[in-house]
Chains A and B, each alone.
Chain A
């Protein structure tokens, strides 16, 4: 009896490639090492089912003490929320603008000189690698407690985030239009502004919106180290055991973050 392949005229190939490539011995050893380290890390991470179960009643008690939320300080909380949002918006916007110029220098194709390319890459990587709370502590120590330290922190944090993504977006755009403008006799600046930026714009907008969302979330916690905004209000409420007020603050933060994310989704869907 003929097989289906024979009936359909398809030849039987004995040397078909493997469905999956087996890793080499060296790669297999690296994978094994990685898995071993992860198992070892589980013990170092403090994961404990017992502690989690024992913590549930405390969490339930805390939630109980938080409800119902206390709205008597809603005016001062609203002002602090507004300040937090302003800090995030201004810091992120300034950071996005600075990121754009740095990203031009940090994209290999557009940078006028390798020294500028490597130095701007280093600056952006440095801004990104230091956590925002560390920047906030440094700025509080430099310019004092308050919103200004928080705004500076968000600027630096945004540069670290957007600088990298803007540069990558510019490197990934189709080179055809660039070549066309080059043949017309355009300068490098003309090519960047006329061909690269329009092509990378969707990615710029996307990264910028994420940066603003990220800035809003960051600005909430920056207050914990004295860098202004709603964070300091939350810390005071928790320290003073005013859990119902803390609940109002957490609710306000939740509403702000959701509102910004929804705004961001709307803009993104219209622009993309």
Chain B
């Protein structure tokens, strides 16, 4: 059972396929002045997995996510994302690959002065003539309908014409999720997606994520500082400490006390 009343969890037995969606091998990254951020990180994520990535501040979680999409260039190592060799892709195929991965940010990163509908339509930026995705007014009818459909999935079709900078934190993050859904993603990565939300709204957003990955069969990797969320909303759990992958296993094998060591 995927969704279980108040306590939502994903059972590993329900994971349908064995196809590897993300494989990272010997990944390393350091920054001038900050030293080693990622040190020989290796792991793989199967299609349909919901993976929580935890770790203290500066442990390399966000850098790892950004390296997976090559928003940050790794120093060495191999990354295979949705079967594509990320580290060796040229600009155009890299853009095509990125368009299949929804990345949700802690700060939501909507374009503030545009409408919610325009922001959601941006999700289809790489699927046609770019200028027809700049504003909802330029977009073809079917794209606008798809965008409204995505807003319905996150429960906000009534806010289509509202400006993005007039939304509450929870609404704003839901719009960011709708934008990611507009990409028709095979994979969603979320970097502390509920860190700026209150606990109730944070839980609603995480429930929404879990429902969506169930219905859309999307692989999900999320970074969280909330250990309860990490244990509740994932079937696999990874923990980073000082740039090294310390834990990597089935979520059901861990208790909250085990995870506190990571922050010690």
Contacts and interface: CB of A to CB of B under 8 A. Distances in A.
Contact of B110 (A177, A183, A190, A202): A177
A129 interface: no
A184 B183 contact: yes
Specify which of A181, A185, A198 lies most central, judged by the most chain B CB atoms within 10 Å of its CB. Answer: A185
Contacts of A179: 71, 105, 109
Interface string B113-152: 1100000001101100011011100000000000000000
B101 interface: yes
A195 B108 CA distance: 14
B98 A177 contact: no
B92 to A, nearest CB: 9
A176 B179 CA distance: 14
A184 B111 contact: no
A199 interface: yes
A185 B107 contact: no
B111 A185 contact: no
A194 B71 contact: no
Interface string A147-185: 000000000000000000000000000101101111111
Nearest to B104: A180
B99 interface: yes
Contacts of A177: 109-112
Interface residues of B, number: 30
A190 B130 contact: yes
A179 B108 CA distance: 11
B223 interface: no
A195 B101 CA distance: 19
A183 B103 contact: yes
B29 to A, nearest CB: 17
Nearest to B98: A185
Contacts, number: 76
A198 B110 CA distance: 11
Contacts of B112: 174, 177, 198-199
Contact of B134 (A184, A194, A201): A194
> Which one of B69, B107, B109, B135 has the greatest number of beta carbons of chain A within 10 Å?
B109
Contacts of A185: 95-99, 125-126
B107 to A, nearest CB: 5
Contact of B98 (A176, A183, A190): A183
Contacts of B176: 180
B130 A186 contact: yes
A118 B156 CA distance: 45
Nearest to B180: A184
Interface in A105-145: none
Contacts of A190: 125, 130-131, 133-134
A189 B130 CA distance: 8
Contacts of A240: none
Contact of B103 (A180, A189, A201, A202): A180
Contacts of B125: 181, 184-186, 190, 194
A184 B105 contact: no
Contact of B122 (A184, A187, A199): A184
A226 to B, nearest CB: 44
A196 to B, nearest CB: 9
Contacts of B183: 184
A70 B179 CA distance: 66
Contact of A198 (B114, B130, B179): B114
Interface centre among B103, B125, B131 (most CB of A within 10 A): B125
Given A184-B125, A185-B99, A186-B125, A199 B130 contact: no
A181 to B, nearest CB: 6
A182 B131 CA distance: 15
A35 to B, nearest CB: 39
Given A183-B101, A184-B183, A186-B122, A193 B134 contact: yes
Given A186-B125, A186-B126, A180 B105 contact: yes
Interface of A: 174, 176-177, 179-187, 189-190, 193-195, 198-199, 201-202
Given A181-B122, A186-B130, A189-B130, 5 more contacts: A176-B109, A182-B98, A185-B95, A193-B130, A194-B135
11 contacts: A176-B107, A177-B112, A179-B71, A181-B125, A183-B103, A184-B126, A184-B183, A185-B125, A194-B135, A199-B111, A199-B113
Top 4 nearest A-B pairs (CB, nearest first) are: A185-B99, A185-B126, A180-B109, A176-B109
